[in-house]
Structure 1
Amino acid sequence: MKITAEALRQRIGQFFFPAVFINDTEENIQKTERLIREHNIGGLTFFHSRASAATNYESKKKVVFNDDSYEKIKALIVRYQKAASTPLLISIDAEWGLAMRIEKTPQYPYAITLGALPENKSDLVFEVGKQIGLDLKAAGIQYNLSPLADINNNPNNPVIGYRSFGANKEKVADFAVEYLKGMSEVGILGCLKHFPGHGNTNVDSHLGLPVLKETLEELLENELYPFIKGIENNVDSIMIGHLAVPSLNDGKVTSATLSKGIIQDLLRDKLGYDGLVISDALNMHSVSKLYETKGQLEWEAFNAGNDILCFAENVPEGIEAIYKNASPDRIEESFNRIMKAKEKAGILSGNTAASGELNFEKTSQLNLEIAQNTITAIINNSGSEVAFEAHKNNKLAKLSLYKNTENTFFKTLNSELKSPEFAFENLEVSDISLIKKELENFELVLISLFVPKAKPANNFEIDNEVLELLSELLQTKKCIIFVFGNPYALPLIPNLKNALELIQVYQDFEEFQKTAGIQFLDKITLKGNLPVSIEIQ
């Protein structure tokens, strides 16, 4: 059957998933509506705001928080679906829930925290996938660009870190599959990323091009393992990372997103994957600056084997370039994959309405159960007995770093271990020399370190003065340290090996603070396992 040029262009439009922003101007919203109407685009990928899009890290634009972002996204989705003649597949990055992009929505633990769960608690990862799926449905979103199948085997990785389930390939594979199954149970499409594996890189691909030096054999042994497991379990889609693997690309340092050798030869032919392939965001600097002619990047990404062009910035030009260069068969292939995904998401009949409500209580119960099974003892010397002894002799003090003393962790401990409390909040309002002086007469200091940031840039925003204070206390006092945050921050602390007890708590959620306090007071054996390998000083 011969298809008209216009009909073919309409099909090609389905490959495009431009970025849209929850907090945007009416002018830009109308521009997107026109794009949907005129070019029959296949879907949209939502971000919080233009300032929050990852490539704006270096422009230092301030992200302005907005309490009604959730209501806004719901209304925008309805508006955009109304403009579409083919129902749109709405996507978002919700790795730890809608909270990754939207304020005042349920937040679940980071993947690194879930990675601390014992293997026999993988049902909790399934539950996280399921709850996140239900939250997406409540907003009118059908497609979560998550989870990561990347293996966390490089501590200097600036962009994966806390977003990966850990360093063990079997656990990463099992937990990623559980998360996908949880979403699938409630009808949400998932996505494994960033093929062929972004774990062992030390460049942020939002800003530059990471290069993997491994051979195919090495990749099959490690990086590719979770993706292979995902393929065996019929994963809906796989996202191609912006990273170069010269060994799979005739020695060329080309982004995987633009490499037939990686998408067609490896993923499709060798690994036998016939599901949806989506590019990583095409505005990321590792690829966005490669071509001067508008539309050429979109064509190159499609030609390499991507079905969905995520964050495509040149829609009309991209459609034309694909129309001119692609074979009708190849267009048909990608079009059919996208339609199949839309059918699975249940939207082709035109039913794109949101369903259900956000359930913060259910999230809290789930987070509590995860806390009870993830908190990890890294150094364990019966710290709680020593603390009770010091408390009896008035030799116990508590020190909170980066939160005031009114935190839930201290409040929980105070039911049995009330003692003098000190806090360092930031260099503007807190006096470290005064804190040192105040602590002189105490033998044991129970320290809660609330790591300021999850990303490793600038030492996770931990001030040098705080590291010096910790170093000094570790050399002169008995110290019990609870770290609420990314475990990759631990190697920064000098003399940490001197700690009487070191407990890794991963999150600062109320449920985690409360559980850490209860487990300490009740001398409960901790069940968590550190999911990454870390050398402490």
Structure 2
Amino acid sequence: MPKFNNGICCALIIALNFIAVNAFAQKESYIQSLNTKNRWVDSVYNKLSRRQRVAQLLFVRAHTNKGKAYEDSVARVIKEEQVGGLVFFQGGPGRQAILVNKYQKLAEVPLLISMDGEWGLGMRLDSTISYPYQMTLGAIQDNNLIYKMGQQVAYDFKRLGVQINFGPDMDINNNPNNPVINYRSFGDNMYNVAKKGIAYFKGMQDAGLLTTAKHFPGHGDTNVDSHFDLPLLPYSRARLDSLEEYPFREAINAGISGIMIAHMNIPALDSTKHLPSTLSRPIVTGVLKDSLKFKGLVVSDAMEMKGVTKYFPNGEADVKAFLAGIDVIELSENSDRAIKLIRRAIRKGLISPDEFQTKVKKVLAAKYWAGLNRRSNISPLNLNEDLNRQTAKDLVQQLSDAAVTLLKGNSATLKLNPFLKTAIVSIGVDAPTVFQQEVAKSFPNCRIFMVAKNAPAIEVRNIMNWIKQYNQVIVGIHDTRLRPQSKLDYSADVRQMIADLAVRKGTVMSVFANAYTIAGLPGIEKSNALLVCYQMSAELQKSAAKVIAGTLKPTGKLPVSVNTSFPTGTGLGLQ
């Protein structure tokens, strides 16, 4: 027998998978598939008892980082309740592959496996690739890059036996202080949000992954996190129709397979006191299904969130969501209780037999579309290599290069002398950064300085005195927090240091943080050149270094309005 090199085999497997992915694009979409009679769907439906049919509508939580007892408890739920699907959260890809294989064997009807992966598997799993946040993607001018990202994300999900991504986020983030959406949104311009969201989900769907636009009818202009309380959206029906709902309307017209409903109280659409939109029939069925003619999967946001359980505890929320028109009840506090309460509602005639049947068959049709009618195991062979392939890493760098945005400056102000004494300062960190290491390659006569976000005043003064000896200063402002918030948690002394550095002649600043943080750094706009890079990834730090070295032209446009100096769309191209 001929011998094959492992690397060649791995490349061949990836190539064959991509051929399969591209072939999938020739098949009809999930929405189109709902118009045709499906023998597999009908056959499975007819074999299920009413209890089993209800169970198909429930998706329960799964982790691979909580130990064997937790994993076994999920296995018991699958075996005893025969739920329709799982939502995987934190853990690792190897462990998840093993668990998915185990869990699928326990299911009489294959489980629909889902994840929240707005920026890919890396949003939840270690040892996997994180693509840029959606705010970062919002700056990119070439939407084809985002389509390609969707294809790569779909490959990752399918390789791990996941059939549905609860993304993209298609909220318009028109409130800079939004505590829950913010950098997860493509920005505050509804047209940009719609175009970016469509490019992303089309890439995923064309590669065979089910997707879910969220959070209908729009969670972008809230100041309450629905994980902890019920947000109020106090706007008129006209405003909601013309602004918040716009990206979702466009997504429906473009063939999105699923839409997730937000937990928000919206009096203009349903005046019932304290009623979350997830539980509102006028919103879920009246607006989304009837007015907007959405025929795909309607998914609840997590039913364990305080935004829905605060006023509707003890399983009442699950029944109300079911009766409102929700097809997939995600993360009920108690799935067994939910099944019993929903069965009782059906027996009382609170829902028509046709509507109930349509819900269940939509879930089964999603399983068929995703290929679950043919059982198969996830192969552990080369799993890590497949999920960390070079083509995907190269795309992350391309996306990062395309996102870097020049807010102030020009070719002259960016053209620093490589032979002058240069201070390369990273603020908000306590160790040398990728940015510093990359920039230093172009400035042999340099010194690196680190300034912690809470550096004491005496340390700040000492560093500023050292910097006086240097002819030019290159500054990186970093947010090391897991999630980049709208305001930096820097001390007053460190903020003042940024303002003092900005007024120095020949200072170039790069912000590796949420774009909104610029509004909280008065004086930064006085720097010779100012780049915003949106997040502290290694790829974006390399991109900024390339701009400073003169090997990359910044083409990004600001996707949100920071202040009057830097409104949405700001971005200075270099000639």
Q: TM-score, normalised by structure 2?
A: 0.84
Aligned length: 511
Is 2:367 the counterpart of 1:346?
no
Partner of 1:438: 466
Is 2:159 the counterpart of 1:132?
no
Letter in 2 for 1:530: L
Partner of 1:407: 433
CA deviation vs aligned residue, 1:259-298 (integer Å, no higher than 9, x gap): 1111011001100111110000011111123234x33221
* CA distance 1:368–1:122, shift in 2 (3 Å): same
Partner of 2:303: 282
Instruction: Quote the offset at 1:204 in angstroms.
Output: 0.9
Instruction: Quote the offset at 1:71 in angstroms.
Output: 1.0
CA deviation vs aligned residue, 1:112-168 (integer Å, no higher than 9, x gap): 1111111xx111111111111111112111111010110121111111111111112
Separation of aligned partners in 1, 2:87 and 2:485 = 26
Partner of 2:184: 163
Partner of 2:343: 323
- 2:432 and 2:448 in contact (8 A); partners too: no
- Secondary structure in structure 2 of the residue aligned to 1:447: strand
Instruction: Quote the offset at 1:358 in angstroms.
Output: 1.1
Q: Percent identity?
A: 33
Residue 87 of structure 2, aligned match among 37, 45, 50: 45
Separation of aligned partners in 2, 1:215 and 1:143 = 33
- 1:413 and 1:521 in contact (8 A); partners too: yes
Separation of aligned partners in 2, 1:366 and 1:523 = 18
Letter in 2 for 1:334: K
Partner of 2:98: 75
* CA distance 1:12–1:309, shift in 2 (3 Å): same
Partner of 1:302: 322
Separation of aligned partners in 2, 1:443 and 1:310 = 58
- Secondary structure in structure 2 of the residue aligned to 1:222: helix
Letter in 2 for 1:329: D
Separation of aligned partners in 2, 1:111 and 1:398 = 29
Partner of 2:396: 367
Residue 129 of structure 2, aligned match among 96, 100, 106: 106
- Where does 1:222-261 land on structure 2 (aligned, <5 Å)? 222-250=243-271, 252-261=273-282
Letter in 2 for 1:342: K
Instruction: Quote the offset at 1:251 in angstroms.
Output: 5.8
* CA distance 1:456–1:450, shift in 2 (3 Å): closer
- Secondary structure in structure 2 of the residue aligned to 1:194: strand
- Where does 1:19-58 land on structure 2 (aligned, <5 Å)? 19-48=61-90
- Where does 1:60-209 land on structure 2 (aligned, <5 Å)? 69-118=92-141, 121-209=142-230
- 2:414 and 2:548 in contact (8 A); partners too: no
- Secondary structure in structure 2 of the residue aligned to 1:248: coil
Residue 269 of structure 1, aligned match among 272, 290, 301: 290
- 1:246 and 1:253 in contact (8 A); partners too: no
Mean alpha-carbon deviation: is it higher for 223-232 or for 510-519?
510-519
* CA distance 1:460–1:70, shift in 2 (3 Å): farther
Is 2:557 the counterpart of 1:532?
no
- 2:213 and 2:260 in contact (8 A); partners too: yes
- 1:141 and 1:354 in contact (8 A); partners too: no
- 2:150 and 2:202 in contact (8 A); partners too: yes
- Secondary structure in structure 2 of the residue aligned to 1:150: coil
- Secondary structure in structure 1 of the residue aligned to 2:470: coil
- 1:151 and 1:165 in contact (8 A); partners too: yes
Instruction: Quote the offset at 1:210 in angstroms.
Output: 1.3
Mean alpha-carbon deviation: is it higher for 425-434 or for 509-518?
425-434
Q: TM-score, normalised by structure 1?
A: 0.89
Separation of aligned partners in 1, 2:485 and 2:435 = 26
Partner of 1:334: 359
Letter in 2 for 1:188: L
- Secondary structure in structure 2 of the residue aligned to 1:400: strand
- 2:486 and 2:516 in contact (8 A); partners too: no
Mean alpha-carbon deviation: is it higher for 460-469 or for 9-18?
460-469
- 1:451 and 1:462 in contact (8 A); partners too: no
- 1:454 and 1:485 in contact (8 A); partners too: no
* CA distance 1:108–1:490, shift in 2 (3 Å): same
- Secondary structure in structure 2 of the residue aligned to 1:193: strand
- 1:191 and 1:237 in contact (8 A); partners too: yes
Is 2:237 the counterpart of 1:216?
yes
- Where does 1:450-461 land on structure 2 (aligned, <5 Å)? 450-453=478-481, 455=483, 459-461=487-489
- Secondary structure in structure 2 of the residue aligned to 1:399: strand
Separation of aligned partners in 2, 1:27 and 1:253 = 37
Letter in 1 for 2:396: N
Separation of aligned partners in 1, 2:150 and 2:46 = 42
Root mean square deviation, CA, Å: 2.4
- Secondary structure in structure 1 of the residue aligned to 2:390: helix
Separation of aligned partners in 1, 2:453 and 2:480 = 10
- Secondary structure in structure 1 of the residue aligned to 2:63: strand
* CA distance 1:428–1:528, shift in 2 (3 Å): closer
- Secondary structure in structure 2 of the residue aligned to 1:516: helix
CA deviation vs aligned residue, 1:416-441 (integer Å, no higher than 9, x gap): 32322211145479932321221233
Separation of aligned partners in 2, 1:99 and 1:243 = 28
Separation of aligned partners in 2, 1:78 and 1:405 = 41
Letter in 2 for 1:380: G
Separation of aligned partners in 1, 2:393 and 2:113 = 26
Separation of aligned partners in 1, 2:414 and 2:356 = 68
Separation of aligned partners in 2, 1:9 and 1:331 = 12
Instruction: Quote the offset at 1:248 in angstroms.
Output: 0.2
* CA distance 1:256–1:382, shift in 2 (3 Å): same
Letter in 1 for 2:72: Q
Letter in 1 for 2:88: F
Q: Which runs of 5+ in 2 are unaligned?
A: 1-41, 566-575
Partner of 1:56: none
Partner of 1:502: 530
* CA distance 1:237–1:6, shift in 2 (3 Å): closer
